[in-house]
Chain A
Amino acid sequence: MIYLDNAATSWPKAPGVAESITRFINEVGANPGRSGHRLSIKAARMVSDVRARTAELFGASDPLRVVFTHNITHAINIALQGLLRPGDHVVTSSVDHNSMIRPLNSLALSGITFTAVTCQPDGSLDPAAIHAAIKPETAMIALTHASNVLGALLPINRIGAIAREHDLLFLVDTASTAGCVPIDMQTDNIDLLAFTGHKALLGPTGTGGLIISPHIDPSMIKPVFQGGTGSRSASETQPPFLPDLLECGTINTTGLAGLGAALVWINETGVGHIQQTCRKQARFLLEQFMATEGVSVFGPVDTTMRTATISFTISNLSPSRAGQLLDERYGIMCRIGLHCAPRAHTTAGTFPEGTIRFSPGVFTTQDELAKAVHAVRSLAEEFSR
Chain B
Amino acid sequence: MSEQSVILFPTSAHVMHAEKLFNDAGISCRLVPVPRHLSSDCGICLVISRQESTDARVLLEAMHVEYDALADMDCM
Contact = CB atoms under 8 A, between A and B. Distances in A.
Interface of A: 32-37, 40-41, 44-45, 47-48, 51-52, 62-64, 229-234, 239, 241, 243-244
Main secondary structure of the interface of A (DSSP, over half): loop
A230 B11 CA distance: 7
A32 B12 contact: yes
B33 A36 contact: yes
Contact of B43 (A62, A230, A234, A241): A230
A165 B20 CA distance: 36
Contact of B11 (A40, A45, A239): A239
A234 B36 CA distance: 12
Contact of B44 (A36, A64, A232, A241): A36
B62 interface: no
Given A47-B16, A230-B41, 19 more contacts: A33-B11, A33-B43, A36-B43, A41-B31, A41-B44, A51-B16, A52-B17, A52-B20, A64-B13, A64-B14, A229-B11, A230-B12, A230-B42, A231-B43, A233-B40, A233-B41, A233-B42, A241-B66, A244-B10
Nearest to B64: A62
A288 to B, nearest CB: 48
A212 to B, nearest CB: 13
A243 B11 CA distance: 8
8 contacts: A34-B42, A36-B31, A36-B43, A44-B12, A45-B19, A63-B13, A230-B42, A231-B11
Count chain B CB atoms within 10 A of each CB in A34, A35, A48, A243 and give the residue with the most: A48
Interface in B1-50: 10-17, 19-20, 31-34, 40-44
Contacts, number: 76
Contacts of A45: 16, 19
B59 interface: no
B73 interface: no
A382 B76 CA distance: 81
A35 B42 contact: yes
B41 to A, nearest CB: 5
A301 B65 CA distance: 47
A36 to B, nearest CB: 2
Contacts of B32: 36
A52 B41 CA distance: 24
Nearest to B63: A62
Given A36-B32, A52-B20, A231 B15 contact: no
Interface hub of A44, A51, A241 (most chain B Cβ within 10 A): A44
Interface string B53-71: 0000000000011100000
9 closest A-B pairs (Cβ-Cβ)? A36-B33, A48-B16, A33-B12, A234-B40, A231-B11, A36-B44, A244-B11, A44-B12, A241-B10
A239 to B, nearest CB: 7
A234 B42 CA distance: 10
